[in-house]
Structure 1
Amino acid sequence: MSKKYQIATIEGDGIGPEVTQATMQVLDEACGKGGLHFEMLDGGANHYVKSGHVLPEDTFDACRRMDAILHGAAGMPGIVYPDGTEVGNDLHLRLRFRLDLYANVRPIKLLPGVLSPLRAFENGGIDYVIIRENTEGLYASRGAGVLLRDEFASDSLIITRKGTERVAKFAFELARKRRGAQADGKARVTVCDKANILRAYAFFRAVCDDVHRDFSDVEIDYAYADAITVHLLKRPDFYDVIVAENMFGDIISDLGAATVGGMGISPSGEIGDQHALFQGAHGSAPDIAGQNLASPVATILSAVMMLRWLGDKHGDAGITQAGDRIEAAVGKVLAEKIAVPRDLGGQASCTEMTEAVCKELAA
C-alpha cells in the first residue's frame, strides 16, 4: 500500500455494527494495522430518534473529506418520517445525492461452495455486474411526488442526457476491464429498459447507443425490463455488464442476488467521480441484531470493492491485491465449508465467519 487511507465508517442500525466491526477486523488483517484508519461516525434511524438527524453535518463533512465510505446498514421498523417513508434509507440516499454517487454497482457472482437455485450454473457460470443509474429515473421524484386530496398520486420519471451518458460510459469502461461474459468471453453491455413503451426509456437507449460509438470493442445488447427477469434465470452466463435506469436496476439486482445465494452475501458500491460508498446489499435485519447470527460476507465483499476502487483511483497495486486476497479467502472458507453462515444453510456465527476469513488471510 502506497498510503494510509481514511475510511469514513458508519455502523448504522440493526446488524450494521456487527458486520461493520467484522469487516474492519478482516481489513486490518489484509492491509495491516494502520493501513486503513476507520473514523467512526454517527448516522442512521436510531441516531435520528436520539438527535433528529439521520445524517449529521459533521458525518457528511467527514464522508466528503475522507478517501471512502464504509457503511453497515440502516433502518429500523416503525422509525419513519411523517409521510411514511423510512428514515434509515434516507442516510445513504442523502449521501448518494449530495456526493453525486451516480453508479450503483452490484456484482452478481456465484461464489465457490455456494448452492445456486439455478442448478445448471452451479460450477461458476454466473458472473456479471449490474450498473444501476443512481440519481435519476423514477426515484428522482423522492420527496417531490404529488398526492392530491387523497385521491390521486403521481411521481415523475426523470432521464437526462448527462445522467445517462455518464452511467453508460461507466458501464462500457467496466466491460473493457472485465474478462467478458461466461458463455462466450465477449465484452458486452446490455441496456435494460422499456424502450418499446415509454419515450423516457427510448431516450435512455438512444443515449446509450451514442456512448457506444466510443466503445466499438464492446458489444451492445438490449433487453426489456420484463424479459430480462426471465433471461437472468435461463441464461445468466450470457451477461457481462447490464446498465439500467434506477428503479429497474434496483429490481433486477435483487433478482440477480437471489440466483447466487441471496442478499446476505451480495456486495454493493455507490460510486461517483470523486467519492464512493460501500455496503452490503441487505438490510439491517433487526430481528437478529445483537445475537451474533448475521453473516458479514456481504459487507466484507463490499470492502473488497472498496479496496479495488481505491487501488484504481490512486494507482495502488498493494491495496488492490489486499482486496483480491480477501475475496480468495472468503471463497476458500465457503468452498471448503470451513465456516458457512446461516443464510447459506450453515451454523457459523458472525464471529466464526470473521475468524475463519482472517485465519485464511494469515495463512
Structure 2
Amino acid sequence: MSQEKTAAAPSRHASVGTAVPVTLIPGDGIGPEVTNAAKRVLEAAGARIEWHEHIAGKQVFLAGNRTGVPQETLDSIASTRVALKGPLETPIGYGGKSANVTLRKLFETYGNTRPARTIPGIATPFSHRNIDMVVVRENVEDLYAGIEHMQTPGVAQCLKLISQKGCEKISRLAFEVARAEGRRTVTCVTKANIMKLTEGMLKRTFEAVATEYPDIEAQYMLVDNCAHQLVRSPESFDVLVTTNMNGDILSDLVSGLVGGLGIAPGANLGKHAAIFEAVHGTAPDIAGQDKANPTATLLSAVMMLRHLGQFEVADKVDKAVALTLEKGPRTGDISGDQPPCGTQAFTDAVIANLGHEPEAWVERNYKPLVLPDVTSNPVTVTPKSRRTVGADIFLESGQDAQTIGKRLEELAEGTALRLKIISNRGTVVYPPTGAPTDCVDHWRCRFVLRDAEADLADVEFFELLTKVTTEYRFMQIEKLYEFDGELAYTLAQGED
C-alpha cells in the first residue's frame, strides 16, 4: 500500500491552561442557537478554546458569493485547522454547490465519522438494544463528486469516481477509529457484486489494508444486506466503512435507530483540517423560537474536544448531556411524555449536570485518533503492463439497434477495429438476443481490435471515430484497457 507514515491527527493540542484557536461558523436557521449552546457548555466545562467566529451559508450566497463561503472563513479554517459549524442553507437559485460541500472539498476532509449509540431516556423502537457504532464514510468522491452530464435530451449521466487512494485513506481511517475507541471489528460495506470496479475497489483495498491491523477483525457485507441487518440486529455492528453515497444513506438510517438527526453528531476529518458539525438541517420553521435541540451540536463539540486532546473535558460534557437526556428536561423533538423545554433551559440543565454521572451509561476509553498520511503522489497504482484493446463510442440516435449495428459494421470495414456489441442501458441489443429491451436514444457501441494481440494506437481509433461521426452524433468515448493482462472494464449484460 502507499502509506508513507502515520501522523497523529490532533496537531493543535493545547498544553494545560493554553487556549486552542477554533473557527466557529454559527450557520443558518437554528445554527446560531445550537452553536451558542455549545459555546456556553464548553466554557462552563473548562474547555480551553479561543473562538474565531466567521460566516458561511445563506447570507454569503445572497451577497453574491457562489461558493457560500467567504475567503475570510477559509483563511480562518486554514489557520486554526479546526472548526465547529452550525447547519448551512443553500438558497434555491444561488450558487452551484452547497457551502457544506465547498468546505469538505476545499479542505479535503475525506472522512466523515458518525457515531450512534443508545441513549437512555430517548424512546425509539430500538431503545432496548445496546447500539454503539460508528459509520465511517468516504466524503469527497463517488457519485457525490457531482460530475453530471445530459448525454442526450432524455438521458442523464452521473460519473461514479472511486480512487484507490481514496479507498486506502478511508479504510485506514476506519481501522484507526476502531483502535482509538477500543472497538473490535470493522465492516466494509459496498455493492461490489454489481459495481465490481468502483465499489469493488473499496473492497479490495480494504482487504489489503486489513492485513496491517491484525488486532481488529475485518468483515465484509453488501450494502443491501447491511441495511437489512442494521434493522434486525443493530447491536452487532461496531465500525462500518463505506463509500460516499452508501454512507450518506446508512448514517442517517443509523441515526434513526437511536433517536434521529437531532442527536446525531458528525466530524469531517482530513490531513489539513477537521470540521465538526451536527448533521441535521437549518429548521427555519423553528429558528429563533428557543425550540431547537442542541444535542447533536453538543456531541459534535465533544468529538472536537477529543480531537484536540482535551479528553477529560470531553468526557465531562458527554456525561452531562447523557444525564440530561436520561433524566430530562428535553426539547420537544425528544420530550416523549414529559413537558418540552426550550434550547436555553436544556443548555442550563446540561451545565448543571457537569461533573455528575449518568446512571445507565457505559463509559468508553477514548485514545488519540491517528490519521493516515497516504502519499501525495497522484499515482498510487502502476501496472506492469497495459494494452488498449478497443473503445466504447456512445452515440445518440433515434434509429433501432439493428439499423445502427449494420451501418457501424459497414463503417468499420477497413479499420483496425470491429463492432463487437451495442448495448442500451447496459443490456446487449446488437447482435440481437431476442430480449424485449425497451431502448432509449443512448447507445454504447463497443469496438474491439481485429487482431486480439495488438495494441490500439490513437490514430487507428481516430480513423474509425471520423467515419462514425460523419453519420452519427457521439457524446462520449471510453478506451478499453487491459492492465496486467486483466480486463479493466466490465461486460454488458449478455456480452460474452
Of the candidates 12, 27, 43, which is equivalent to residue 56 of structure 2? 43
Which residue of structure 2 aligns with residue 107 of structure 1?
115
Report deviation, 1:119: 4.8
SS of 1:288 mapped into structure 2: coil
Matched, 1:342 2:347: no
SS of 1:192 mapped into structure 2: strand
SS of 2:354 mapped into structure 1: helix
SS of 2:45 mapped into structure 1: helix
Report deviation, 1:335: 1.0
Report deviation, 1:22: 0.9
String of CA shifts for 1:213-237, please: whole Å, max 9, x gaps.
1011111111111111111111111
More strand by share: 2
Which residue of structure 1 aligns with residue 439 of structure 2?
none
**Is the contact made by 1:194 and 1:201 (CA closer than 8 Å) also made in structure 2?**
yes
Report deviation, 1:47: 2.3
TM-score normalized by the length of structure 1: 0.89
**Is the contact made by 2:109 and 2:269 (CA closer than 8 Å) also made in structure 1?**
yes
Q: Once structures 1 and 2 are overlaid, which stretch shifts more, 268-277 or 295-304? A: 268-277
Cα distance in structure 2, aligned partners of 1:69 and 1:261? 25
**Is the contact made by 1:110 and 1:116 (CA closer than 8 Å) also made in structure 2?**
no
- Matches for 1:183-332 after TM superposition, within 5 Å: 187-199=184-196, 200-311=198-309, 319-332=310-323
Which residue of structure 2 aligns with residue 174 of structure 1?
177
**Is the contact made by 2:113 and 2:266 (CA closer than 8 Å) also made in structure 1?**
yes
Number of residue pairs matched by the alignment: 336
**Is the contact made by 1:29 and 1:362 (CA closer than 8 Å) also made in structure 2?**
no
Which residue of structure 1 aligns with residue 133 of structure 2?
128
Cα distance in structure 2, aligned partners of 1:191 and 1:91? 29
Matched, 1:63 2:77: yes
String of CA shifts for 1:149-172, please: whole Å, max 9, x gaps.
541211111111111101100101
SS of 2:150 mapped into structure 1: strand
**Is the contact made by 2:78 and 2:272 (CA closer than 8 Å) also made in structure 1?**
no
Which residue of structure 2 aligns with residue 30 of structure 1?
45
SS of 1:146 mapped into structure 2: strand
**Is the contact made by 2:118 and 2:127 (CA closer than 8 Å) also made in structure 1?**
no
Cα distance in structure 2, aligned partners of 1:306 and 1:271? 10
Cα distance in structure 2, aligned partners of 1:51 and 1:21? 27
The CA RMSD measured in Å over matched residues stands at: 1.6
Larger radius of gyration: 2
Report deviation, 1:51: 4.0
Instruction: Kindly provide the amino acid, as one letter, of the partner of residue 196 in structure 1.
Output: N
Report deviation, 1:67: 4.0
Of the candidates 328, 344, 353, which is equivalent to residue 351 of structure 1? 344
SS of 2:218 mapped into structure 1: strand
Cα distance in structure 2, aligned partners of 1:127 and 1:80? 40
Which residue of structure 1 aligns with residue 158 of structure 2?
155
Report deviation, 1:36: 1.0
Which residue of structure 2 aligns with residue 183 of structure 1?
none
In structure 1, the gaps of 5 or more residues are 181-186, 312-318
Report deviation, 1:138: 1.2
SS of 1:173 mapped into structure 2: helix
**Is the contact made by 1:191 and 1:242 (CA closer than 8 Å) also made in structure 2?**
yes
Report deviation, 1:45: 1.5
Cα distance in structure 2, aligned partners of 1:353 and 1:120? 24
**Is the contact made by 2:120 and 2:127 (CA closer than 8 Å) also made in structure 1?**
no
Distance 1:342 1:150, change over 3 A: farther
Report deviation, 1:92: 2.0
Instruction: Kindly provide the amino acid, as one letter, of the partner of residue 194 in structure 1.
Output: K
Of the candidates 21, 26, 33, which is equivalent to residue 36 of structure 2? 21
Which residue of structure 1 aligns with residue 27 of structure 2?
12
Report deviation, 1:137: 1.1
Report deviation, 1:79: 2.8
Give the % identical residues. Answer: 35
Distance 1:326 1:260, change over 3 A: same
Cα distance in structure 1, aligned partners of 2:75 and 2:278? 23
Report deviation, 1:97: 1.1
Cα distance in structure 1, aligned partners of 2:228 and 2:294? 30
**Is the contact made by 1:72 and 1:279 (CA closer than 8 Å) also made in structure 2?**
yes
Return structure 1 stretches of 4+ with deviation > 4 angstroms.
none
String of CA shifts for 1:175-225, please: whole Å, max 9, x gaps.
123333xxxxxx111001011111211121000000001011111111111
TM-score normalized by the length of structure 2: 0.66
**Is the contact made by 1:64 and 1:275 (CA closer than 8 Å) also made in structure 2?**
yes
Q: Once structures 1 and 2 are overlaid, which stretch shifts more, 248-257 or 93-102? A: 93-102
In structure 2, the gaps of 5 or more residues are 1-13, 357-496
SS of 1:147 mapped into structure 2: strand
Higher-RCO chain (CA-CA 8 Å, sequence separation at least 6): 1
Instruction: Kindly provide the amino acid, as one letter, of the partner of residue 113 in structure 1.
Output: G
**Is the contact made by 2:124 and 2:259 (CA closer than 8 Å) also made in structure 1?**
yes
